[in-house]
Structure 1
Amino acid sequence: MSYKQAAHILPPELLREVQAYIDGECIYIPRLAGRRRGWGEATATRGELKLRNERIFADYLRGAPLEALAERYYLTAKSIQRIIRGERAGQDR
């Protein structure tokens, strides 16, 4: 999300109307409901985390201890447990 100059985008009469409510302040205008993107859709983050979680689960199935996985992936043991639970649930589907 980036800032845009309202004076460059909005018609002058609409800009004056907005200024009547919020003069000189920053305002966030949300996207229309139909245009919203899900978390991670704008970047490759979602795919990277999915791949990381699959690797963690595969390492776990090969016998890697939770603490070793936590250290290797820079996560807490609790996070590793949550990922393993999630991956197990995904296999059951």
Structure 2
Amino acid sequence: MTYVNAQNVLPEELIVEIQKYVQGETLYIPKHEDTFKKWGVASGSRKRLDRRNSKIRERFTNGSTIDELAESNYLSVETIKKIVYSHN
């Protein structure tokens, strides 16, 4: 996160209004929700995890045990249970 001086980007009237609430402090202004990306979307991690989980569910449906899936995917038994019993 980079620091931006309000005087360089905001109109004077807005700065005066903000100063009624805070002065001389660092103020974080979050992105608008429409521009926020969920975890892993930009890097592709979310897609990879979704594919992995789908394969785990498919193998479970085809008879693999929780223990087998945990061992072959290097995940805990509890994590495998969350994956196969979730409603995705």
What is the TM-score of this pair, normalised by structure 1? 0.60
Aligned residue pairs, count? 85
The runs of 5 or more residues in structure 1 that have no matched partner are none
For residue 67 of structure 2, give the secondary structure of its aligned residue in structure 1: helix
What is the TM-score of this pair, normalised by structure 2? 0.62
Superposed structure 1 runs of 4+ greater than 4 Å apart: none
Q: Determine whether 1:26 maps to 2:27.
A: yes
Partner of 1:39: 38
Alignment RMSD, CA only?
2.9
The runs of 5 or more residues in structure 2 that have no matched partner are none
1:39 partner amino acid = K
Deviations 1:42-81 (A, max 9, x none): 4223322210101212332444332332244343312211
Distance 1:27 1:14 in 2: 15
* Alignment CA distance shift 1:81-1:17 (3 Å): same
Partner of 1:68: 68
For residue 20 of structure 2, give the secondary structure of its aligned residue in structure 1: helix
